[in-house]
Structure 1
Amino acid sequence: MEQAKRKVTIIYCCDNDLALYRKTQSFNLNDYGDMIIPQEFKRGKTIVAVCAGEIDVINSVGDKLVAQYWH
Structure 2
Amino acid sequence: MKNINESSAPAVIGNNAIEISVLYICQTNLSIKPQLETLTTQKNLNGRVIIPAEFKAGKNILAVMEGRVQLLNSLGDRAEHNQEHQVA
Q: The TM-score by the shorter chain falls in which range?
A: 0.7 to 0.9
Larger RCO (CA within 8 A; separation ≥ 6): 1
CA distances 1:30-49 after superposition (whole Å, capped 9, x unpaired): 22322110111100000011
Tell me the matched-pair count: 64
- How does 1:27-66 map onto structure 2 within 5 Å? 27-63=41-77
Aligned to 1:69: none
Question: Per residue, is there more helix in 1 or in 2?
Answer: 1
Give the TM-score normalised by the residue count of structure 2: 0.63
Amino acid at match of 1:45: K
Please give the root-mean-square deviation of Cα atoms over the aligned residues, in Å: 1.8
Identical aligned residues as a percent: 33
Tell whether the 8 Å contact from 2:22 to 2:65 is kept in structure 1 after alignment.
Answer: yes
Q: Which has the larger radius of gyration?
A: 2
